[in-house]
């Protein structure tokens, strides 16, 4: 499948920047890369996200697929290539690292109803379906070697089981806190976020924990008609292309798994890649098949016309799986 490079380069500055670096292999010192990155950092839509994050942690999180929550905006800024040296970013990352649990894990403000094991009030805590995303974002923003980030990552990695990562949370919720699933099952979303975080630490992608997590997700794909641990299914909704990478869906799972050596060449991953490739339109472009209303102002926030960002993500995944393509 031909990559529509020229079409991608006619898109927003942050798409141009990632196209040059991720698909064309240009270095950060390349003139075109520097120019497109400068444009991305000053893009009004990007600056709006940065402004939104300056009052971190923002409002309390009540559900982890809340697409407008600051945590997901932070991860997207990290994904498009911002770093801790960019305007206002260091202030945001400092705020994040000022709120840590007794385990040394970064906290956010949450409000968990009593029927789900929470207090029903605003409180500072962490769960394995949010903390890894904070670690991922901090590391990708350039703080992977910071002692606090390394400590938090080490603690979270240590929670892995031989079936992937379980549902886990701050000790303040008590030992019996768990989502709607069986104790011996992996939490698909927590496992996905942990694997995503591991990609930012050299060597961890091929660690025993990384392999356990990757094989857990691949097994869930293989057994998708029989298994729905913690109510996470791999059916029709899972298979729809959607951005940014917020929830448990095919683009998010493949973006992560395609970076794990143990998944390379695995028939289960190749099957997912074939499904992904079949969604291509004429000229190798891809459309959003589902959208987050909170991101409707972005070019991937509509389903009418092809999305350059989703096209970039998809081709980047397929190129990793098929080196040289």
Q: For residue 229, is it within any domain? A: yes
CA distances from 309 to 9, 10, 134, 199, 286 (A): 11, 12, 22, 20, 9
Q: How many CA atoms within 13 Å lie on the side-chain side of 20?
A: 24
Supply φ then ψ for residue 61, to 5 degrees: -80, 130
Quick one: how many helices (H) and strands (E) in the chain? 13, 2
Supply φ then ψ for residue 211, to 5 degrees: -70, -40
Beta carbons within 10 angstroms of residue 299's beta carbon? 18
Query: Which are the contacts of 225, defined by CB distance < 8 A and separation ≥ 6?
Result: none
Write the DSSP assignment of 154-197 as a string of letters. Answer: HHHHTT-BBTB----B-GGG-TT---SS-TTS--HHHHHHHHHH
The total of structural domains in the chain comes to 1
Q: For residue 23, is it within any domain? A: no
> CA 214 to CA 54: how far, in whole Å?
34
pLDDT bin (cut points 50, 70, 90) of residue 324 is: low
Q: For residue 27, is it within any domain? A: no
Beta carbons within 10 angstroms of residue 267's beta carbon? 9
Q: 309: domain CATH number? A: 1.50.10
Q: For residue 265, is it within any domain? A: yes
Q: How many CA atoms within 13 Å lie on the side-chain side of 135?
A: 33
Q: For residue 14, is it within any domain? A: no
Q: For residue 135, is it within any domain? A: yes
CB–CB of 231/181 below 8 Å?
yes
Mean per-residue pLDDT for 263-290? 97
Q: For residue 22, is it within any domain? A: no
Q: Give tens-digit pLDDT for 10-65.
A: 999 999 999 999 999 999 999 999 999 999 999 999 999 999 999 999 999 999 99
pLDDT above 70: percentage of residues in the chain? 99
Give the CA radius of gyration of the chain: 19
Supply φ then ψ for residue 21, to 5 degrees: -80, -50
**Res 78: pLDDT:** 98
Q: Give tens-digit pLDDT for 62-94.
A: 999 999 999 999 999 999 999 999 999 999 999
Whole-prediction pTM: 0.97
Residue numbers of the domain that contains 67: 58-321
Q: Give tens-digit pLDDT for 104-117.
A: 999 999 998 877 77
Helix/strand/coil percent split, the chain, to 5: 50, 5, 45
CB–CB of 191/165 below 8 Å?
yes
Q: For residue 1, is it within any domain? A: no
């Amino acid at each position: 499948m031909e990559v529509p490079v020229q079409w991608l380069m006619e898109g927003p500055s942050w798409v141009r920047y990632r196209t040059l670096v991720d698909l064309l292999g240009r270095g950060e010192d390349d003139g075109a890369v520097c120019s497109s990155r400068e444009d991305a950092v000053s893009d009004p839509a990007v600056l709006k996200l940065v402004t939104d994050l300056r009052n971190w942690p923002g409002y309390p999180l009540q559900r982890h697929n809340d697409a407008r929550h600051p945590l997901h905006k932070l991860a997207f800024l990290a994904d498009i290539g911002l770093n801790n040296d960019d305007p206002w970013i260091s202030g945001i990352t400092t705020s994040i690292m000022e709120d840590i649990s007794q385990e040394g894990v970064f906290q956010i403000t949450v409000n968990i109803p009593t029927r789900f094991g929470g207090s029903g009030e605003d409180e500072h805590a962490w769960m394995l379906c949010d903390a890894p995303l904070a670690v991922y974002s901090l590391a990708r923003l350039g703080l992977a070697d910071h002692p606090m980030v390394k400590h938090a990552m080490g603690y979270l990695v240590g929670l892995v089981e031989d079936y992937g990562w379980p549902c886990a949370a701050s000790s303040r919720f008590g030992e019996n806190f768990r989502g709607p699933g069986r104790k011996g099952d992996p939490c698909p979303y927590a496992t996905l976020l942990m694997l995503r975080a591991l990609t930012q630490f050299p060597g961890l992608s091929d660690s025993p924990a990384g392999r356990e997590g990757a094989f857990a997700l691949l097994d869930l794909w293989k057994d998708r008609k029989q298994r729905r641990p913690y109510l996470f299914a791999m059916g029709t909704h899972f298979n729809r292309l959607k951005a940014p990478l917020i929830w448990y869906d095919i683009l998010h799972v493949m973006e992560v798994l395609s970076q794990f050596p143990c998944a390379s060449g695995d028939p289960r991953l190749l099957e997912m890649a074939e499904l992904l490739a079949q969604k291509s339109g004429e000229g190798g472009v891809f459309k959003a098949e589902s959208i987050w209303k909170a991101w409707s102002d972005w070019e991937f926030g509509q389903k009418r016309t092809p999305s350059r960002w989703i096209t970039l993500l998809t081709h980047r995944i397929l190129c990793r799986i098929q080196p040289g393509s």
